[in-house]
Each structure stands twice: as structure tokens, then as C-alpha cells.
Amino acid sequence: MRWITTTNHKDIGTLYLWFSFIMFSVGGLMAVGIRMELFSPGLQVMDPDFFNQLTTMHGLIMVFGAIMPVFVGFANWQIPMMIGAPDMAFARLNNWSFWLLPFAATLLVLSFFMPGGAPGVGWTMYAPLTVQMGIGMDLTIFAVHILGMSSILGSINIITTILNMRAPGMTLMKMPLFVWTWLITAYLLVAAMPVLAGAVTMTLTDRHFGTSFFNAAGGGDPVLYQHVFWFFGHPEVYIIALPGFGVISQVIPAFSRKPLFGYASMVYATSAIAIISFIVWAHHMYTVGMPVTGQLFFMYATMLVAVPTGVKVFNWVATMWKGSLTFETPMLFACGFLFMFTLGGFTGLVLSLVPIDIQVHDTYYVVAHFHYVMVAGALFAAFAGIYFWIPKWTGHMYNETLGKIHFWLTLVFFNMIFFVQHFLGLAGMPRRIPDYPLMFETWNKISSLGAFGMGLAQLLFLYVVIDCIRKGAPAPQKPWEGADSLEWTHLPTPVPYHTFETPPVVK
């Protein structure tokens, strides 16, 4: 009962983190299924229809069920402690926004057992396929509605907390960067999620109420769906990435024992990324037959994103420059993030070029690109954050050796899966197809083996976390020498259930 009715931000943070780990495992199992089918050419494990359902659900679950909730979990735990507030602004609303999620997840998983199975349309849910799918599609649409509702409520809560409940003296430009990135992310969510809700609502009325938004026969246009979807979809990319940037901006200074280089420019760069993210959506759809002017506009706008992102990467590296570096697990994941995310950024720059994008559109090159930014970006940042803050949350240190092994296994297997997919994509292997010609076999075998290894490595992570909670050595108040935000300097370890009931004074 405590967990169902709780309004404590730390409890809810924990709920979010465990929920996202469960969904991460479910989505991961689906990925393993996909890689099993792609282990060798021909069809062996599943029929193509089920393969499509797996790729669709893997995407939806990982994006909405794993990555977004994990960062909301961080936000719940950390934001009140970092700004010196007693709790979130709307504690009961916070409870609701979490408990919407299990229902949405259940709907998604249930769709597998409907006649016709789960939607096999890809996580982007493009019309006209979505208009023709079975009842599983309706469940997915409602799940997306509920997920959207949950994120919007959560974001309103986060913005209100950050703007109204800071401790005396905690001016906006003194907030830890993690809080800044979440403030901007929450604004993106409030602006973008309703547009997705609109897009799936249109799909729903097209399916059942005789409208023709996307139905060519009734005067609609399937390409319109893509525009509406990606108007949400591109800000969504930064919704996923920005909180990760925030975590990295806490971890790197702590282990470099130096303040973050260029704090103000980091804040402005984050805002710039958020604003640009609303004018680049059509770079996902260069091949729909838009006028050259449109392609040029979206190409240049997309390249512009590289400027603020470059500022961020530069600042992280400059923070490490001449610092007293040590490489505990959080820092290892942060460095892994820095390398891998930058690589994913570079392939993104390659893909922003219209002529190249038309060539590799919908190939494994694209798959490799967005996994480099999502897995090596968001997921590595999430791991860095968990190892960084888990001593504070549980009061115990995790096993450093096992943590490091987890990092190296994840890094090696991740690259084994996705680095070779660049080659597959350039050679022309299309995504979302369960079969492939013989010439792609070697790289696919390597990629599949990597996927199995990556899956197993996450079991080690689960062990490390449980081991830390159960019998880790007691952690000091400030286990990381260079960490300097309020939760380390003002609060004991483990943090008490209620903190900052009288706000601290920040100088």
C-alpha cells in the first residue's frame, strides 16, 4: 500500500526507476528476438509478421517505457534535493503520473494477444498501415494517449517545482545543470507530446469514425501523418537526450574535481538545441517528394544543431582538461557517453545531407546512427547517473569492480552490435526486414552475438544494484570528492525520507 499511495518524491523516483528497468528488460528481450531472427539469412525463428510486431514494440517500449521514465525517475529523486525543495510541487499529481504508466504498459503488451497481433507498423506508426491494422492498433493508440498524459502531467509538475520552489539564494543561473536540462526538457514535453496525441487521435478517427485525415481515398494524405508525427518526433529526440546531457554535466565535473567549464554557455546551448528541434522535423522524410527548397531548408537547419551540441561536447572535454581525473564507474560511463554519443552525432551530420540520406534512407545505417545516440547517449548517461547517485539513495556503495566490468562489457558488446550495422547500411541492407541476402551474413552474425552479450551484461547490472542495496559497504556523505551540489553538501547518506523541510540558504 505504501508504494501505491505514496506522494514522496523519493518513493516515486524509485518506482519510476524500477518500472523503467522492467520495461528495459522487456524491450531488450524483444531486441534479442529480433537479432535471433537476423542471426542467419532466411526465416527460422518467427514469421515476418511477428518480426514486424517485435520491431514496433521494441521501439515504443524502449522510448516511452524505458528511457523517458528512467530520466523522470532521476528528476523525481534529484530535482527537489538539488534545488533545496521539500518535495515536488504537486505531490499527489506526481503519484498519478507514475501510476498511469503500468496501465499503458499493460495495454501495449496486451496488444500482442489481440486478433491480428500487436501493430507491426514501426514505432513511428505511419499511416496508411495504421489505418488498416487490427484491434491491437487501438490498444497501442490508447497506450500512447495515456503515456502522453503521464508525461505532460509530470512535466507541468517539474516546471512548477523548478520555477517556484527553489531555496532562497538558488537563482536560476546557480542551478545544477541537471536541473536546467530538465526544465528545458519539460517545456519540450509540454509542447510536443500533445501533438503526438493529436496525430494518434487522427489515426483513431480515421479508423473508426469515417474521417479521412490520412486516407488517400477520402482526400487525405498519408504524408501529412509523417509531418505531424515528426513535428513531435524530433523534439522527442532531445527530450530523450537532454536529461542525459544533464547527468553527464554533473558526473564529469565531479570526477575531474573542477567546476563545469562554460556553465552559462551550456545553459544557452541547451536552450538553442530545444528551439532548433522544432524546425528540423522533415529531415526524417527527405524521400517523401518534398520540393528542393524544403529539403535545403531542413538540411541547413539540421546542420545547425551541430553547433550547440558541439559547444556542449567542447565544454565537457574542457572540463576534463587538466583536471585531477579518476575513473570510477560513473566517470567511465560518462567517457563512454562522450565518445559514442559524439560518433552518433557525426553519423547524424552525415544523414542530414539530403543526397546521402536519400541513399541510406531506411537502411541499417540509420539504425546504427540512432542507437548510437539513444543507447550510447541516453542509456550510458542513465547508467552513469545510477552509479553516481546510488550511494546517496541507498546509503551503500556498489561493488566498484563489478561496476567496471559491467561498463566494459556494455561498451564492447554495444559496439559489436551497432558499429557493424554502419557497414550493413552502407551496403544497402534495409531495416525492418526479417530476411537478407547471403552477402550480409557475417556482419549480421557479429551484430547478433553482440546483442546476446549485451543482454547478459545487463543481468550483471541487476546483480550489482541488488547487491548494493542488500549488503553494500556503508557510503560516506560525499563519496565523490568533486561533487558539489546540495544533495552531497547538505544531506547525510542515506538521505532521510523527508529532506529540506526548512530550505537551506544558498550563497
Partner 1 sequence: MSVDKAEMRQENRRLSRRLAIVAVAMFGFGFALVPFYNQICAALGVNSIVEKSEPLNSQIDSTRTVTIELDSNTHDLPWRFRPLVSHLTVHPGELATVEYEVVNVRAAPVTGQAVPSYGPQHAGEYFKKLECFCFTQQTLAAGETRRMPVTFVVDPRLPRDVSTIAVSYTFFEVAGRGGKS
Nearest-approach distance from CB 212 to partner 1, in angstroms? 8
Q: Which ranges of 111-134 would DSSP assign to H, the alpha helix? A: 129-132
What is the DSSP-derived secondary structure letter of residue 429?
A: P
197 lines the binding site for partner 1 (CB under 8 A) = yes
Cβ nearer to partner 1, comparing 227 with 257: 227
Q: From CA 217, how far away is CA 221, in angstroms rounded?
A: 9
- Answer for which of 155, 329, 347, 499 binds partner 1 (CB under 8 A) is 155
Which among 411, 389, 365, 382 has a CA at the least distance from the CA of 487? 389
Cα 78 → chain centroid: 17
Long-range contacts of residues 305-308, Cβ cutoff 8 Å, at least 24 apart: 305/273, 305/276, 305/277, 305/280, 305/348, 306/345, 306/349, 307/272, 308/268, 308/269, 308/270, 308/272, 308/273, 308/276
Cβ nearer to partner 1, comparing 127 with 457: 127
Angle at 197 between CA 99 and CA 372, to 5 degrees: 80
* Region binding partner 1 by CB under 8 A among candidate stretches 26-34, 161-169, 377-385, 421-429: 161-169
- The count of C-alpha atoms lying within 13 angstroms of the C-alpha of 268, restricted to the half-sphere facing its C-beta, is 7
157 lines the binding site for partner 1 (CB under 8 A) = yes
Cβ nearer to partner 1, comparing 231 with 443: 231
Contact in structure between 436 and 368 (CB atoms under 8 Å): no
* Region binding partner 1 by CB under 8 A among candidate stretches 236-244, 290-298, 338-346, 403-411: 290-298
Nearest-approach distance from CB 188 to partner 1, in angstroms? 11
* Region binding partner 1 by CB under 8 A among candidate stretches 194-202, 268-276, 374-382, 453-461: 194-202
Angle at 258 between CA 254 and CA 260, to 5 degrees: 80
Query: Quick check: helix, strand or coil at residue 266?
Result: helix
What x-and-dash track marks residues 76-105 binding partner 1 by CB under 8 A? Answer: -------------xx---------------
- Answer for which of 36, 290, 303, 325 binds partner 1 (CB under 8 A) is 290
C-alpha cell at 21: 528497468
* Region binding partner 1 by CB under 8 A among candidate stretches 189-197, 302-310, 436-444, 482-490: 189-197
- Answer for which of 224, 409, 426, 433 binds partner 1 (CB under 8 A) is 224
C-alpha cell at 432: 525492418
Cβ nearer to partner 1, comparing 102 with 198: 198
381 lines the binding site for partner 1 (CB under 8 A) = no
Q: From CA 375, how far away is CA 111, in angstroms rounded?
A: 26
What x-and-dash track marks residues 293-312 binding partner 1 by CB under 8 A? Answer: xx------------------
Q: From CA 348, how far away is CA 364, in angstroms rounded?
A: 13
- Answer for which of 72, 159, 237, 429 binds partner 1 (CB under 8 A) is 159
- Answer for which of 75, 127, 139, 165 binds partner 1 (CB under 8 A) is 165
What x-and-dash track marks residues 201-220 binding partner 1 by CB under 8 A? Answer: -x-------x-xx-xxxxx-
Cβ nearer to partner 1, comparing 123 with 230: 230
* Region binding partner 1 by CB under 8 A among candidate stretches 105-113, 291-299, 324-332, 341-349: 291-299
272 lines the binding site for partner 1 (CB under 8 A) = no
Nearest-approach distance from CB 483 to partner 1, in angstroms? 25
- Answer for which of 223, 304, 350, 397 binds partner 1 (CB under 8 A) is 223
- The count of C-alpha atoms lying within 13 angstroms of the C-alpha of 437, restricted to the half-sphere facing its C-beta, is 6
Q: From CA 381, how far away is CA 346, in angstroms rounded?
A: 18
156 lines the binding site for partner 1 (CB under 8 A) = yes
Contact in structure between 504 and 101 (CB atoms under 8 Å): no
Cβ nearer to partner 1, comparing 191 with 325: 191
What x-and-dash track marks residues 444-483 binding partner 1 by CB under 8 A? Answer: ----------------------------------------
Catalytic site positions: 58, 87, 123, 150-151, 234, 236, 238, 249, 283-284, 309, 312, 431
Cβ nearer to partner 1, comparing 231 with 316: 231
Cα 52 → chain centroid: 22
- Answer for which of 228, 241, 424, 468 binds partner 1 (CB under 8 A) is 228
- Answer for which of 127, 193, 311, 378 binds partner 1 (CB under 8 A) is 193
Q: Report cis status (omega within 30 of 0) of the bond before 434.
A: no
- Answer for which of 199, 241, 378, 420 binds partner 1 (CB under 8 A) is 199
C-alpha cell at 468: 548494493
Contact in structure between 475 and 493 (CB atoms under 8 Å): yes
Q: From CA 388, how far away is CA 490, in angstroms rounded?
A: 17
Cβ nearer to partner 1, comparing 4 with 217: 217
CB atoms within 10 A of CB 236: 23
First to last CA, the chain: 40
Cβ nearer to partner 1, comparing 221 with 484: 221
Q: Cell 544531506 identifies what position?
A: 491
Q: From CA 411, how far away is CA 415, in angstroms rounded?
A: 6
Q: From CA 31, how far away is CA 37, in angstroms rounded?
A: 10
**What backbone torsions phi and psi does residue 144 show, to the nearest 5 degrees?**
-65, -40
- Answer for which of 291, 322, 470, 497 binds partner 1 (CB under 8 A) is 291
Q: Which residues of the chain form contacts with partner 1 (CB under 8 A)?
A: 89-90, 152, 155-157, 159-160, 163-168, 190-199, 202, 210, 212-213, 215-219, 221, 223-224, 227-228, 231-232, 289-291, 293-294, 503
